[in-house]
Amino acid sequence: MNKFICITAVSHMRREATHKAEIVSQLLLGETAELLDETKDFFKLKCLYDGYEGWCQKSQITELINNSSATHFYINEAVGVVEVNEKPCRVSLATPYFKENIIAKNFKLHYPEQNILNATEMRFNEENIKYQSYKYLNTPYLWGGKSVFGIDCSGFAQQVFKMFNIFLMRDAYQQAEQGDVVGFLQQAQCGDLAFFDNDEGRIVHVGILLNNQTIIHSAGRVRIDVIDNAGIINTETGERTHQLRIIKRINNR
Protein backbone atom coordinates (compact mmCIF):
# COMPACT_ATOMS: atom_id res chain seq x y z
CA MET A 1 0.00 0.00 0.00
CA ASN A 2 1.33 3.41 -0.99
CA LYS A 3 0.92 5.96 1.78
CA PHE A 4 0.10 9.57 1.09
CA ILE A 5 0.73 12.43 3.50
CA CYS A 6 -0.79 15.85 4.09
CA ILE A 7 1.72 18.68 3.47
CA THR A 8 -0.46 21.66 4.46
CA ALA A 9 -1.67 22.71 7.92
CA VAL A 10 -5.02 21.12 7.13
CA SER A 11 -6.49 19.51 4.04
CA HIS A 12 -10.26 19.32 3.72
CA MET A 13 -11.68 15.88 3.01
CA ARG A 14 -14.76 16.45 0.84
CA ARG A 15 -17.70 14.21 0.06
CA GLU A 16 -17.12 14.61 -3.69
CA ALA A 17 -14.21 15.64 -5.93
CA THR A 18 -15.11 19.32 -6.15
CA HIS A 19 -14.39 22.43 -4.11
CA LYS A 20 -18.14 22.95 -3.79
CA ALA A 21 -18.67 19.64 -1.99
CA GLU A 22 -19.36 19.25 1.73
CA ILE A 23 -16.31 18.96 4.03
CA VAL A 24 -16.66 15.66 5.88
CA SER A 25 -13.34 15.67 7.75
CA GLN A 26 -9.76 16.90 7.53
CA LEU A 27 -6.20 15.65 7.47
CA LEU A 28 -3.70 17.54 9.61
CA LEU A 29 -0.17 18.09 8.38
CA GLY A 30 1.78 14.85 8.64
CA GLU A 31 -1.30 12.63 8.82
CA THR A 32 -1.25 9.76 6.37
CA ALA A 33 -3.83 8.11 4.16
CA GLU A 34 -4.37 5.31 1.68
CA LEU A 35 -5.13 6.22 -1.93
CA LEU A 36 -8.50 4.91 -3.12
CA ASP A 37 -9.14 6.84 -6.33
CA GLU A 38 -8.22 10.05 -8.12
CA THR A 39 -9.37 12.64 -10.60
CA LYS A 40 -7.39 15.39 -12.29
CA ASP A 41 -7.41 17.63 -9.21
CA PHE A 42 -8.37 15.40 -6.28
CA PHE A 43 -7.28 12.24 -4.47
CA LYS A 44 -9.86 10.04 -2.76
CA LEU A 45 -8.17 9.02 0.49
CA LYS A 46 -8.79 6.85 3.52
CA CYS A 47 -7.30 8.38 6.68
CA LEU A 48 -5.10 5.77 8.32
CA TYR A 49 -5.91 7.07 11.82
CA ASP A 50 -9.68 6.67 11.81
CA GLY A 51 -10.58 5.09 8.47
CA TYR A 52 -12.55 8.12 7.30
CA GLU A 53 -12.77 8.66 3.54
CA GLY A 54 -12.97 11.80 1.45
CA TRP A 55 -11.60 13.73 -1.50
CA CYS A 56 -8.55 15.96 -0.90
CA GLN A 57 -7.04 18.54 -3.21
CA LYS A 58 -3.98 17.01 -4.89
CA SER A 59 -1.78 20.06 -4.27
CA GLN A 60 -2.15 19.48 -0.49
CA ILE A 61 -1.22 15.78 -0.55
CA THR A 62 1.85 13.92 -1.72
CA GLU A 63 3.24 10.40 -1.70
CA LEU A 64 5.24 9.38 1.36
CA ILE A 65 8.76 8.13 0.61
CA ASN A 66 10.08 7.10 4.02
CA ASN A 67 7.88 5.15 6.39
CA SER A 68 8.05 7.38 9.47
CA SER A 69 4.31 7.81 9.69
CA ALA A 70 3.43 6.48 13.16
CA THR A 71 3.89 8.61 16.26
CA HIS A 72 2.51 9.20 19.73
CA PHE A 73 3.99 12.70 19.84
CA TYR A 74 1.82 15.74 19.12
CA ILE A 75 2.33 19.49 19.02
CA ASN A 76 0.97 20.81 22.30
CA GLU A 77 0.70 24.50 21.50
CA ALA A 78 -2.41 26.18 20.11
CA VAL A 79 -0.39 26.97 16.99
CA GLY A 80 2.95 25.32 16.29
CA VAL A 81 5.40 25.32 13.40
CA VAL A 82 6.56 22.68 10.96
CA GLU A 83 9.03 23.50 8.20
CA VAL A 84 7.81 22.38 4.79
CA ASN A 85 10.68 22.51 2.28
CA GLU A 86 12.52 24.81 4.72
CA LYS A 87 9.61 27.29 4.90
CA PRO A 88 7.49 27.67 8.06
CA CYS A 89 3.96 26.31 8.12
CA ARG A 90 1.72 27.26 11.06
CA VAL A 91 -0.04 24.14 12.30
CA SER A 92 -2.73 23.30 14.81
CA LEU A 93 -2.60 21.85 18.27
CA ALA A 94 -2.57 18.01 18.08
CA THR A 95 -0.69 17.94 14.78
CA PRO A 96 1.55 14.83 14.68
CA TYR A 97 5.18 15.49 15.58
CA PHE A 98 8.11 13.46 14.29
CA LYS A 99 11.63 13.47 15.68
CA GLU A 100 13.07 12.65 12.26
CA ASN A 101 12.47 14.46 9.00
CA ILE A 102 9.62 13.17 6.87
CA ILE A 103 10.64 12.61 3.27
CA ALA A 104 7.85 12.73 0.71
CA LYS A 105 7.73 13.14 -3.04
CA ASN A 106 9.09 16.67 -3.74
CA PHE A 107 8.72 17.61 -0.05
CA LYS A 108 10.61 17.41 3.22
CA LEU A 109 8.99 18.05 6.60
CA HIS A 110 11.24 19.19 9.42
CA TYR A 111 10.01 19.55 13.00
CA PRO A 112 11.69 22.28 15.07
CA GLU A 113 11.83 21.94 18.85
CA GLN A 114 8.67 23.22 20.52
CA ASN A 115 6.10 22.21 23.14
CA ILE A 116 5.50 18.52 22.44
CA LEU A 117 3.28 15.99 24.20
CA ASN A 118 3.88 12.26 24.42
CA ALA A 119 0.35 10.86 24.44
CA THR A 120 1.43 7.55 25.96
CA GLU A 121 2.55 9.40 29.10
CA MET A 122 -0.51 11.61 29.60
CA ARG A 123 -2.69 10.61 32.55
CA PHE A 124 -6.40 10.81 31.83
CA ASN A 125 -7.38 12.81 34.90
CA GLU A 126 -9.48 15.91 35.57
CA GLU A 127 -6.56 18.34 35.60
CA ASN A 128 -5.15 17.15 32.28
CA ILE A 129 -8.53 16.80 30.58
CA LYS A 130 -9.38 20.41 31.39
CA TYR A 131 -5.89 21.58 30.42
CA GLN A 132 -6.10 19.95 26.99
CA SER A 133 -9.74 20.73 26.18
CA TYR A 134 -9.55 24.36 27.29
CA LYS A 135 -6.91 25.01 24.63
CA TYR A 136 -9.70 24.81 22.06
CA LEU A 137 -12.01 27.31 23.78
CA ASN A 138 -13.55 29.80 21.33
CA THR A 139 -12.35 27.83 18.30
CA PRO A 140 -15.05 28.43 15.67
CA TYR A 141 -17.34 25.57 14.74
CA LEU A 142 -16.58 24.08 11.33
CA TRP A 143 -18.46 21.08 9.97
CA GLY A 144 -15.79 18.42 9.33
CA GLY A 145 -13.09 20.43 11.11
CA LYS A 146 -10.59 19.06 13.60
CA SER A 147 -8.12 21.90 14.25
CA VAL A 148 -7.92 25.15 16.22
CA PHE A 149 -8.70 26.91 12.94
CA GLY A 150 -12.18 25.33 12.98
CA ILE A 151 -13.58 22.18 14.60
CA ASP A 152 -16.83 20.23 14.86
CA CYS A 153 -18.20 18.46 17.93
CA SER A 154 -16.88 14.98 17.21
CA GLY A 155 -13.59 16.29 15.84
CA PHE A 156 -13.12 18.16 19.13
CA ALA A 157 -13.71 15.03 21.20
CA GLN A 158 -11.49 12.95 18.94
CA GLN A 159 -8.57 15.38 19.03
CA VAL A 160 -8.69 15.87 22.80
CA PHE A 161 -8.79 12.12 23.44
CA LYS A 162 -5.97 11.57 20.96
CA MET A 163 -3.69 13.54 23.26
CA PHE A 164 -4.21 10.78 25.85
CA ASN A 165 -3.55 8.01 23.33
CA ILE A 166 -7.26 7.13 23.40
CA PHE A 167 -8.78 6.35 20.02
CA LEU A 168 -12.19 7.72 19.11
CA MET A 169 -13.98 7.20 15.82
CA ARG A 170 -14.66 10.29 13.70
CA ASP A 171 -18.43 10.88 13.93
CA ALA A 172 -20.57 11.33 17.03
CA TYR A 173 -22.84 8.38 16.21
CA GLN A 174 -19.75 6.17 15.83
CA GLN A 175 -18.25 7.39 19.10
CA ALA A 176 -21.55 6.62 20.83
CA GLU A 177 -20.91 2.93 20.10
CA GLN A 178 -17.63 3.00 22.05
CA GLY A 179 -17.15 2.57 25.79
CA ASP A 180 -19.56 1.74 28.60
CA VAL A 181 -22.88 3.34 29.45
CA VAL A 182 -23.06 5.63 32.49
CA GLY A 183 -26.58 5.15 33.79
CA PHE A 184 -27.21 8.57 35.30
CA LEU A 185 -25.76 12.04 34.82
CA GLN A 186 -25.20 12.23 38.58
CA GLN A 187 -22.70 9.35 38.21
CA ALA A 188 -20.73 11.08 35.45
CA GLN A 189 -17.04 11.91 35.80
CA CYS A 190 -14.78 14.41 34.09
CA GLY A 191 -13.88 12.94 30.71
CA ASP A 192 -17.11 11.05 30.11
CA LEU A 193 -18.73 11.70 26.74
CA ALA A 194 -22.32 12.94 26.54
CA PHE A 195 -24.27 12.31 23.34
CA PHE A 196 -27.33 14.15 22.11
CA ASP A 197 -30.00 13.24 19.55
CA ASN A 198 -32.45 15.02 17.28
CA ASP A 199 -36.21 14.61 17.06
CA GLU A 200 -35.75 11.49 14.92
CA GLY A 201 -33.55 9.88 17.59
CA ARG A 202 -30.31 10.15 15.62
CA ILE A 203 -27.11 10.99 17.51
CA VAL A 204 -26.05 14.39 16.18
CA HIS A 205 -23.84 15.92 18.88
CA VAL A 206 -21.20 15.03 21.46
CA GLY A 207 -19.39 16.87 24.23
CA ILE A 208 -16.89 16.16 27.00
CA LEU A 209 -18.27 16.33 30.52
CA LEU A 210 -16.20 18.38 32.96
CA ASN A 211 -18.36 17.13 35.83
CA ASN A 212 -22.05 16.20 36.19
CA GLN A 213 -23.12 19.82 35.76
CA THR A 214 -20.94 21.29 33.01
CA ILE A 215 -19.85 20.26 29.53
CA ILE A 216 -17.33 21.53 27.00
CA HIS A 217 -18.38 21.09 23.38
CA SER A 218 -18.22 22.66 19.91
CA ALA A 219 -21.51 24.42 19.11
CA GLY A 220 -21.03 27.69 17.28
CA ARG A 221 -17.66 27.72 18.98
CA VAL A 222 -15.95 25.56 21.58
CA ARG A 223 -17.68 26.59 24.78
CA ILE A 224 -18.59 25.52 28.32
CA ASP A 225 -22.28 25.14 29.10
CA VAL A 226 -24.58 23.77 31.79
CA ILE A 227 -25.99 20.25 31.48
CA ASP A 228 -28.87 18.56 33.29
CA ASN A 229 -30.82 15.36 32.82
CA ALA A 230 -32.67 16.84 29.85
CA GLY A 231 -29.64 18.21 28.01
CA ILE A 232 -27.53 21.33 27.46
CA ILE A 233 -28.49 24.84 28.52
CA ASN A 234 -26.63 27.75 26.93
CA THR A 235 -24.97 29.66 29.80
CA GLU A 236 -25.34 33.00 28.03
CA THR A 237 -28.92 32.84 26.78
CA GLY A 238 -30.54 30.25 29.05
CA GLU A 239 -31.81 28.46 25.95
CA ARG A 240 -31.94 24.66 25.91
CA THR A 241 -29.94 23.67 22.85
CA HIS A 242 -29.39 19.88 22.88
CA GLN A 243 -31.36 16.93 24.28
CA LEU A 244 -29.35 14.32 26.18
CA ARG A 245 -29.48 10.77 24.85
CA ILE A 246 -26.68 8.79 26.51
CA ILE A 247 -23.44 9.11 28.48
CA LYS A 248 -20.49 6.83 27.75
CA ARG A 249 -17.24 6.19 29.58
CA ILE A 250 -14.44 5.15 27.28
CA ASN A 251 -12.92 2.02 28.76
CA ASN A 252 -9.58 1.84 26.92
CA ARG A 253 -7.70 4.19 29.23
What burial letters (b/e) apply to 155-182, b meaning 16+ CB within 10 Å? Answer: bbbbbbbbbbbbebbbbbebbbebbeeb
Which is the catalytic residue, given 56, 153, 190, 242? 153
Q: Which of 12, 190, 205, 242 is catalytic?
A: 205
205 is catalytic: yes
Q: Catalytic residue at 153? A: yes
3-state helix, strand, coil in the chain (%, to 5): 15, 45, 45
> DSSP characters for 56-79?
EEGGGEEEB-S-----SEEE-SSE
Pairing of strands 61-63, 193-197: unpaired
Amino acid at 1: M
Q: Which of 137, 131, 139 is nearest to 115 (CA)?
A: 131
| Active site (annotated) includes residue 217 | yes
| Cα separation, 154 vs 23, whole angstroms | 14
Catalytic residues: 153, 205, 217
